[in-house]
Amino acid sequence: MKKILPALLLGGACFAAGAFVARPTAPDEITVSIARATQQLFGLNFTDAQLDSTRRNLTGYRESYETLRKISLPNSVAPSVVFDPRPLRLRQAMVTTPKDNAGKLPEMGRVKMPGYRDELAFYTVRQLGELLRTKQISSEELTKFFLARLQKYDPKLHCVITLTEELALQQARQADQEIKAGKYRGPLHGIPFGVKDLFSAKGYKTTWGSVPYKDQNLDEDAAVVERLRAAGGVLLAKLTLGELAQGDVWFGEKTRTPWDVSKGSSGSSAGSASAVAAGLLPYAIGTETLGSIISPSTACGVTGLRPTYGRVSRAGAMALSWTMDKAGPIARSAEDCAIVLAALTAAGPDAHDPATLQAPNAFRYAFGTDLKKMRVGFVKTAFDQNYPTKLNDLATLEVLRKLGVELVPIELPAIAPGALRFVLTAEGAAAFDDLTRSGRDAQMVLQNRFAWPNTFRSSRFIPAVEYLQAQRVRSLLIEQMDAQLKGLDAYIAPSFSANLTLTNLTGQPAIAIPNGFTAAGLPTTITFMGQLYEEGKLLALAKAYQDATEFDEKHPVL
């Protein structure tokens, strides 16, 4: 009995003889027998083999709890999760459409059809939009062009789950009729695009990349699909994601990077990044909870924007973590990302996604920002480390200095963001409660210790108290981050560092930008972060860097 009791709250105080006693200084190892007894508290019935994998995760969780308990939390610190008492009816009534539009895009020269039509595959959204606006090509022709490329290269890349060919041709013909009649909707009018297959599209399966859901039909259009259609977009494909938004392995295969088809495209927006990098689509929509836009954008050498948390509606998207999920565009350039973000936010907040109600202003282009007046931080300790892409990253800083940007060394908050990661897994376990308890998680492709089935089982043992304490520490982190970034327009960090977890917790917008190649010829990126809701300045800085370099114009040869 003595070995079982310390585990009852998995790292918290325990009962003995009707009184509280402190946990021992050196807690007992969490064994299978302890986990078996503990699961009875929660009405669970995992096998001993499953519990053997789970117990190691529980030890890691306990270490996180101990880390967080060292942080002083006055009673005045509330969790970062905010309760909203308004029913959908009242939220809808209070939503207002922005009165002004996103502003002006930079002027661009005349765009001509290439002599070799296949070059269209790597034209930017802006360039393709000009060809459509000036009627040098029709949307139907462009749609058929990209459809052919998807059909040709998907067998190598495994980036498509469903082609929406019939719908796309219908939307393309409608776009052509509108453009011909002078009803031009803007730079996305008639442009084909794809969405990660965790977004619903009426009439098509929404598989979430996972075996238990591969025949799932959701009879609705996700908000991103609706808003891009309103901008004249042509939905051509539903793209792969690692099962339930983790990694690049889905129920059909493993999605590949077009730079080396023997390697995965990373995840979880695996198909979105791969398709754009290979010139199979001009842009696509991905999502990020903890690196799922930044990581595949790096593996595939494309530009990926993770907007501020709550900036883009997630209505109609699979939920993994309600307090961390974000949706954003993957494209060829920062300017293209800005165009897509403008369309995704043009209608204002979405009452079906309460997170969008917090956005204080509408997105506006800021490409006229004077670079020489920008103060941009760089995380000095991160750049001082030895890591594989350091030379490319330091070269990026030098380009910005030459452009006149004032670079300021900064440090990030001392709170270790890794100790808060169980916030994500706790919410994910709740989102997929039925999958776990029904045993259908056994159908999933990956079944190792770090795959979702075991993670979801492990997360069922996270006490509610520890989850709420983590959200309170997250509130401190948000305040500390705000103080650290005071007076800065943006800041820069290596794409893969503690900053990635940190900013996904604080909700900062970020953009991954190609900045070179490895010795093996694979692309690298660096990440620019902005102030909350200041994507305009962030994208202006990214565009300036891309205008001064050519990395965003490089593409793989298939």
Structure tokens at 148: 């052919």
Nearest residue to 145 (alpha-carbon basis) of 234, 272, 247 = 234
Does the annotation mark 292 as catalytic? yes
Torsion, CA 85, CA 87, CA 93, CA 99, rounded to 10:
60
Contact 539, 338 (CB under 8 A): yes
How crowded is the C-beta side of 77, counted as CA atoms within 13 Å? 17
Give the containing element (helix H, strand E) for 60. Answer: helix 48-69
Cis preceding-peptide flag for 497 (omega within 30 of 0): no
Pairwise CA distance, residues 313 & 499, whole Å: 24
CA 301 to the chain's CA centroid: 16
Q: Which of 80, 210, 292, 297 is catalytic?
A: 292
What is the DSSP secondary structure assignment for residue 249, as one 8-state letter? Answer: B
Sort strands 19-21 and 234-239 into parallel, antiparallel or unpaired.
unpaired
What's the chain's Rg over C-alpha atoms? Answer: 24
Contact 149, 277 (CB under 8 A): no
Structure tokens at 290: 């903890």
CA distances, 117 to each of 147, 225, 259, 370, 487 (Å): 14, 28, 22, 37, 47
Can you state the angle between helices 48-69 and 464-484, rounded to 10 degrees? 50
3-state secondary structure of 327: strand
Contact 412, 499 (CB under 8 A): yes
Does the annotation mark 495 as catalytic? no
Structure tokens at 462: 């996270």
Can you state the angle between helices 125-133 and 165-180, rounded to 10 degrees? 50
Residue labelled with tokens 């139907």: 140
Pairwise CA distance, residues 306 & 117, whole Å: 32
| Other beta carbons within 10 Å of 168 | 24
- DSSP β-bridge partners for residue 329: 285
Does the annotation mark 268 as catalytic? yes
Pairwise CA distance, residues 197 & 169, whole Å: 20
Those residues with Cβ within 8 angstroms of residue 6's Cβ, 6 or more apart along the chain or in another chain: 14, 23, 24, 27, 28, 34
Q: Which of 80, 196, 458, 495 is catalytic?
A: 196
Nearest residue to 299 (alpha-carbon basis) of 333, 332, 270 = 270
Q: Which of 139, 268, 321, 495 is catalytic?
A: 268
Pairwise CA distance, residues 488 & 405, whole Å: 11
Active-site residues, by number, are 196, 268, 292
